[in-house]
Copies of this chain bind each other. A is one copy, B any other.
Amino acid sequence: MLFDILDLLGTITFAVSGVLTALHKRLDSFGIFIIAFVTAVGGGTLRDVLIGNTPVGWMLELRYIYAISIAVVIALLFRNYLKHLRTSLFLFDTLGLGIFTIIGIEKGLEVGLHPIICIILGTISACFGGVSRDILCAEIPIIFRKEIYATACILGGLFFLGFSELHIPKNILYLSTASVIIVIRILAVKYKLSLPSFYKNTPTSS
């Protein structure tokens, strides 16, 4: 139940992040909808295709289409209140990241995959929508920009698997894992944390 709500919430936040990116790129109304759609369902679609869960999730229940459509309309109506697009985009993207990581892990556990594979699957579910959005919008994928991104999903995944040994109620486990991912990501951006680099501090060669 909470699981379904989180799934819809993740879909909505990613759809809004897609609208904001598309507005920034000045796409027309249909382009905005496509980007919102791809961002919202891209990660879950790749997840379902990889584990053979077809037809993929959003094809079997109309609520995803409805949620995305409503999110697009609302985001467009309130676009002037979302003025500081970059900050809003970051927040919506981060919320979706936390939610889709746990959903991906859960789906992997359901089909009996090894926990390590489930963490990778959760990370793919969470990151691929945003990667598709950025490729279609000709931006460098957010996953490769400086701050910790997919790493937050992996750390959250380790947290999830570690604490699931303790038989905490699922709902609390879901919410706390999503919170861990969101907090790590926000702290990383706020304090400009990044992973160690292998290069001297010279200008890039490419």
Contact = CB atoms under 8 A, between A and B. Distances in A.
Interface of A: 23-32, 34, 45, 49-52, 54-56, 58-60, 62, 65, 76, 79, 108, 111, 113-114, 116-117, 120-121, 135-136, 138, 140-141, 143-144, 146, 148, 150-151, 194-199, 204-206
B55 A206 contact: no
Nearest to A149: B30
Nearest to A24: B206
Contacts of A144: 27, 31, 34, 136
A55 B54 contact: no
Given A49-B50, A54-B49, A116-B65, A150 B205 contact: no
Nearest to A206: B25
Nearest to A203: B26
Contacts of A54: 49-52
Given A62-B114, A116-B65, A52 B55 contact: yes
Contacts of A150: 30, 34
Contacts of A120: 65
Given A23-B198, A49-B50, A144-B31, A121 B59 contact: yes
B24 A113 contact: no
Contacts of A56: 50
Contacts of A196: 28-29
A198 to B, nearest CB: 7
